[in-house]
Amino acid sequence: MNQSPNVSDLYAYELIGSGRSRGGIYTMTFPNLGVVCSVRRMKENSDYEVRADLKFTSSRPTSMGHLRRGRVILTSTDNRNKMAKALAYRDSEVEWDSVMEILSEVVLEDYRAGAPVETLTGEVEIEIQKKWLIYPIIEIDSLTIIYAPGSSGKSWVAQHLAVLADAGYSTDAYMVEPAKVLYLDWETTKSELDVRVTMIRRGMGLQGRSNIKYRTMYAGIVSDLERIQEIIVEEDITFVVIDSVASACGGEAESAKVVLDTFNSIRSLNVSTLAIDHTNKDNQLFGSVYKFNEARNVFELVKKQESDEQKIIIGLFHRKANNGPIIGDLGTSLTFANNQAVFTRVNIRDTSLEEHQSVRERIRNLLRSGPETPGNIATLLDKGEGNIRTVLSTGVKDGLFVLVKDLATGKSTGRYGLAVPYAFAEAGGEEEWFLE
Q: What is the mean pLDDT of each run of 10 residues along the chain (436 residues)?
A: 61 84 84 94 90 95 93 96 95 94 94 83 68 94 93 93 98 96 95 96 95 96 90 94 93 89 92 94 85 93 81 94 88 94 94 91 91 94 94 92 86 88 48 30
Q: What's the mean per-residue pLDDT of the chain?
A: 89
Strand partners for 332 = 314, 345
- How many Cα atoms within 13 Å fall on the side-chain side of residue 225? 21
At position 242, the amino acid (one-letter code) is I
Q: What's the rounded Cα separation, in Å, for the pair 156 and 61?
A: 53
- Provide Rg for the chain, Cα atoms: 28
Q: What's the rounded Cα separation, in Å, for the pair 347 and 343?
A: 13
DSSP-derived 3-state class of residue 186: coil
Percent of the chain clearing pLDDT 90 (strictly above): 67
35 contacts 98 by C-beta, under 8 angstroms:
no
- Burial degree of 12 (CB within 10 A; 0-12, 13-18, 19+): middle
Burial 234-261 (b: 16+ CB within 10 A, else e): eeebbbbbbbbbbbbbbeebeeeebbeb
pLDDT for the residue numbered 7: 54
pLDDT for the residue numbered 41: 86
DSSP-derived 3-state class of residue 26: strand
Q: Does the fold of domain 358-426 match that of domain 128-354?
A: no
pLDDT for the residue numbered 74: 95
pLDDT for the residue numbered 128: 52
Pick among 1.10.287.70, 3.30.300.30, 3.40.50.720, 1.10.10.10: CATH of 358-426: 1.10.10.10
DSSP alpha helix (H) spans, 91-176: 96-113, 128-131, 154-167
The DSSP line for 333-373 is EEEEETTEEEEEEE-GGGSGGGGGS-HHHHHHHHHTT--B-
Would you list the domain boundaries of the chain? 2-113, 128-354, 358-426
Comparing CA positions, the residue from 6, 68, 5, 4 lying closest to residue 35 is 68
Strand partners for 340 = 337
pLDDT for the residue numbered 130: 60
Comparing CA positions, the residue from 96, 102, 76, 83 lying closest to residue 2 is 102
Q: Residue 19 region, left (φ>0) first, then alpha (ψ -120 to 50), else beta?
A: left
pLDDT for the residue numbered 172: 92
Pairing of strands 138-139, 50-58: unpaired
Taking domain 128-354, whether its CATH number is 3.40.605.10 is answered by no
Name 345's Cβ contacts closer than 8 Å, sequence gap at least 6: 171, 172, 173, 331, 332
Largest separation between any pair of C-alpha atoms in the chain: 104
Q: Angle between the 374-381 and 385-397 helix axes, to the nearest 10 degrees?
A: 120
Q: What's the rounded Cα separation, in Å, for the pair 115 and 376?
A: 59
- Burial degree of 356 (CB within 10 A; 0-12, 13-18, 19+): middle
pLDDT for the residue numbered 334: 95
Q: State pLDDT tens for residues 292-317.
A: 999 999 999 999 886 667 899 999 99
pLDDT for the residue numbered 375: 95
pLDDT for the residue numbered 433: 28
Burial 123-134 (b: 16+ CB within 10 A, else e): eeeeeeeeebbb
pLDDT for the residue numbered 427: 46
Run of H or E residues at 72: strand 65-73
pLDDT for the residue numbered 431: 36
pLDDT for the residue numbered 284: 85
pTM of the model: 0.78
Q: State pLDDT tens for residues 16-45.
A: 877 776 778 899 999 999 999 999 888 888
pLDDT for the residue numbered 307: 65
At position 74, the amino acid (one-letter code) is L
Q: Any idea what DSSP says for residue 279?
A: B
30 contacts 23 by C-beta, under 8 angstroms:
no
Q: What's the rounded Cα separation, in Å, for the pair 403 and 419?
A: 9
